[in-house]
């Protein structure tokens, strides 16, 4: 049998490629932010995004973005993508999260039922220059730091910590074997040790550890059974979703009986396609559940307006529930600047991006395509609604704790990139000096300034009536 030689990157060639990229686009240049006179109007970008969404929900999206410059930043991935996509970059490509701000990191349960920390949002995942994710992350700490009222010195320490952790971690990953990188992950007991060993006073450390412990405990309680208990009511012996408009609306309250029947038919077709996207063992498990109810659910900040459904499934009885989320996926905000996705289905793009970057993925993660009642074809991905998912309380996080959190996010992002890109080339580009993190910290503060200006434009558009807004939802 002929021997087939796989294409394996040569470490020396990768190292040379990283150094060549450094000469072409020096690390110091990463600090520069150019906003040309032809920069696209941020409000027009948001309007363009809103055109394909559920129009009744768009005001809620604007309302959630209007709370603060930080919530605006969370929903403004397309705006930042436009800024980064038209500027010079390193050319070192990897699979990007696409929206790597600090609130898109968190904990969830691995298939082995261990709590792990990882990136948890991949709606915008797409190949691109590695530093776009880093800039999105570090700038989010600058914006969040301002939101929390931290001093410039505190913010700079946090920004540097995030970028330095990324650089140092990538150097470590570059020295690892392929399997070592692939198996690398961060468990929450490690997070407790990290916060316990952090700088600061005894009380500060104790508070950091206690916050991590509380987040872990809360995450462990967030299961399908907990979602079932919170989101359903027992009617005539049959569980069904509660009606909590506009956040959660059962299909029975959303449509006429004829329309509901049509949706149920679409649902079964969509689930058939979805099952083909998961492995046979998970398909076998899923087939032990029956769908008993469907509801529309509003999620997130930037995602508001996209079609998102929750499915209530029961196994052997009402004590054996499974709640799945079916969320619409559109083209990544990065696509206009780095080319079309190789996947015809954007749900598949999201799922495969997640599988590439996460150490562990939801056992029910998959994708489908559905033709709606309006005749339009839309892509979706499917996952468990809650499976030990939890996130940090950013609104109460002190500066010392956020600095530790920044290091954790930097390590996690580096690991995600090391799995999917040329880690040796990226590490070679980053080098051994602190030039990269200083550039990232400078970029972050400059972009935080721009974010505040863009937020002011949103407020003005709302005040003038150009954008309809609904708050408090």
Q: What is the pLDDT of residues 395-451, one digit of tens each?
A: 888 899 899 999 999 999 999 999 999 999 999 999 999 999 999 999 999 999 999
Does the pTM exceed 0.85?
Answer: yes
Residue 150 CB contacts under 8 Å (≥ 6 apart), including other chains? 158, 399, 402
User: What SS3 class is residue 377?
Assistant: strand
For residue 195, is it left (φ>0), alpha (ψ between -120 and 50) or beta? alpha
Phi/psi of residue 365, each to 5°? -70, 125
With a pLDDT cut of 90, the percent of the chain lying above it is: 71
Domain boundary among 362, 384, 406: 384
- Examine residue 419 and state whether it is found in any structural domain, yes or no: yes
Give the distance from CA 461 to its chain's centroid.
Answer: 27
Q: How far is it, in rounded angstroms, from Cα 174 to Cα 331?
A: 31
Q: Are residues 375 and 398 in the same domain?
A: no
Q: Are residues 118 and 253 in the same domain?
A: no
Domain boundary among 365, 384, 403: 384
Phi/psi of residue 181, each to 5°? -65, -45
CA angle 310, 281, 273 (to 5 degrees): 50
Domain boundary among 384, 417, 437: 384
Mean pLDDT of 357-369: 95
Q: Are residues 118 and 241 in the same domain?
A: no
pLDDT of residue 365: 97
Q: Are residues 315 and 407 in the same domain?
A: no
Task: List, as own/partner pairs, every contact residues 7-15 make where C-beta atoms lie below 8 angstroms and the sequence separation is at least 24, other chains included.
Answer: 9/422, 9/424, 11/424, 14/422, 14/424, 14/425, 14/428, 15/424, 15/425, 15/428
pLDDT of residue 198: 64
Q: Is the pLDDT of residue 2 over 60?
A: no
Give the distance from CA 452 to its chain's centroid.
Answer: 22
Which tokens is 91 given?
């050319």
The helix or strand, by DSSP H or E, that contains position 423, with its residue range, turns out to be helix 423-430
- Examine residue 210 and state whether it is found in any structural domain, yes or no: no
- Examine residue 203 and state whether it is found in any structural domain, yes or no: no
Q: Are residues 52 and 162 in the same domain?
A: yes
Q: Read off the pLDDT of residues 184-230 as tens digits, 9 standing for 90 and up.
A: 998 877 766 766 666 565 666 566 667 667 766 665 666 667 777 88
- Examine residue 219 and state whether it is found in any structural domain, yes or no: no
- What's the chain's average pLDDT? 91
Q: Which of 123-127, 180-184, 197-201, 451-455 has the lowest mean pLDDT?
A: 197-201
Which tokens is 320 given?
């054996």
Mean pLDDT of 368-386: 91
Enclosing domain of residue 334: 224-384
Q: Are 455 and 41 in contact (CB under 8 A)?
A: no
Residue 362 CB contacts under 8 Å (≥ 6 apart), including other chains? 108, 383, 384, 387
- Examine residue 5 and state whether it is found in any structural domain, yes or no: no
Mean pLDDT of 243-268: 89
Considering only CA atoms, which of 163, 135, 158 is closest in space to residue 146? 158
Q: Read off the pLDDT of residues 9-39 as tens digits, 9 standing for 90 and up.
A: 799 999 999 999 999 999 999 999 888 889 9
Q: Are residues 93 and 22 in the same domain?
A: yes
Q: Are residues 230 and 104 in the same domain?
A: no
Q: Are residues 352 and 399 in the same domain?
A: no
Give the distance from CA 23 to its chain's centroid.
Answer: 32
Q: How far is it, in rounded angstroms, from Cα 468 to Cα 62?
A: 8
Using only C-alpha atoms, the chain has a radius of gyration, in whole angstroms, of 22
Number of H helices, E strands in the chain: 19, 13
Phi/psi of residue 141, each to 5°? -70, -35
Q: Are residues 324 and 444 in the same domain?
A: no
DSSP 300-316: SSTTBTB-EEEEEEESS
pLDDT of residue 387: 65
Q: Are residues 107 and 241 in the same domain?
A: no
pLDDT of residue 357: 96
Q: Are 334 and 236 in contact (CB under 8 A)?
A: no
Q: What is the separation, in whole angstroms, between the first and last Cα of the chain?
A: 64
- Examine residue 470 and state whether it is found in any structural domain, yes or no: no
Mean pLDDT of 60-72: 97
- Examine residue 415 and state whether it is found in any structural domain, yes or no: yes
Q: Which residues pair with 248 in a beta bridge?
A: 244, 297
3-state helix/strand/coil string of 211-227: HHHHHHHHHHHCCHHHH
Q: Are residues 115 and 181 in the same domain?
A: yes
Number of domains in the chain: 2
Q: Are residues 397 and 357 in the same domain?
A: no
Q: For the chain, how many residues are written?
A: 473
- Examine residue 434 and state whether it is found in any structural domain, yes or no: yes
Q: How far is it, in rounded angstroms, from Cα 81 to Cα 71?
A: 17
């Amino acid at each position: 049998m002929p021997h087939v030689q796989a294409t394996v990157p040569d470490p020396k060639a990768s190292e040379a490629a990283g150094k060549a990229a450094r000469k072409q686009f020096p690390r110091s240049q990463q600090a520069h932010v150019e906003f040309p006179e032809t920069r696209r109007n941020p409000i027009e970008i948001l309007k363009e995004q809103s055109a394909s969404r559920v129009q009744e929900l768009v005001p809620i999206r604007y309302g959630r973005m209007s709370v603060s410059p930080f919530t605006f930043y969370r929903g403004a991935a397309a705006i930042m993508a436009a800024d980064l996509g038209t500027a010079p970059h390193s050319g070192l490509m990897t699979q990007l999260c696409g929206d790597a701000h600090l609130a898109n990191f968190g904990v969830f349960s691995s298939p082995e039922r261990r709590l792990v920390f990882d990136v948890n949002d991949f709606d915008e995942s797409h190949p691109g220059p590695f530093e776009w994710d880093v800039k999105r992350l570090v700038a989010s700490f600058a914006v969040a730091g301002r939101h929390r009222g931290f001093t410039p010195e505190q913010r700079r320490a946090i920004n540097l910590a995030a970028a330095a952790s990324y650089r140092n971690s990538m150097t470590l990953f570059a020295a690892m074997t392929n399997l070592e990188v692939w198996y690398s992950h961060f468990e929450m007991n490690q997070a407790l040790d990290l916060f316990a060993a952090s700088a600061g006073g005894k009380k500060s450390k104790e508070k950091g550890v206690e916050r991590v412990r509380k987040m872990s405990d809360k995450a462990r309680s967030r299961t399908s059974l907990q979602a079932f208990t919170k989101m359903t009511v027992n009617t005539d012996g049959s569980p069904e979703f509660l009606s909590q408009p506009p956040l959660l609306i059962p299909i029975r309250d959303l449509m006429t009986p004829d329309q509901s029947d049509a949706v149920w038919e679409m649902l079964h077709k969509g689930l058939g396609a979805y099952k083909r996207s998961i492995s046979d063992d998970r398909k076998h498990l899923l087939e032990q559940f029956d769908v008993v109810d469907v509801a529309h659910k509003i999620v997130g900040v930037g995602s508001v307006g996209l079609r998102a459904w929750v499915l209530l499934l029961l196994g052997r009885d009402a004590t054996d529930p499974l709640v799945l989320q079916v969320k619409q996926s559109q083209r990544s905000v990065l696509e206009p600047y780095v080319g079309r996705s190789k996947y015809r289905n954007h749900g598949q793009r999201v799922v495969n991006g997640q599988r590439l970057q996460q150490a562990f993925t939801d056992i029910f993660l998959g994708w489908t395509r559905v033709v709606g009642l309006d005749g339009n074809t839309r892509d979706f991905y499917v996952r468990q609604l809650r499976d030990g998912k939890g996130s940090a309380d950013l609104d109460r996080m002190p500066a010392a704790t956020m600095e530790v959190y920044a290091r954790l996010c930097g390590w996690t992002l580096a690991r995600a990139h090391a799995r999917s890109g040329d880690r040796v080339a990226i590490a070679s580009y980053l080098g051994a000096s602190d030039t990269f993190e200083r550039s990232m910290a400078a970029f972050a503060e400059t972009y935080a300034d721009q974010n505040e200006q863009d937020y002011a434009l949103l407020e003005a558009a709302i005040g003038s009536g150009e954008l309809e807004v609904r708050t408090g939802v």
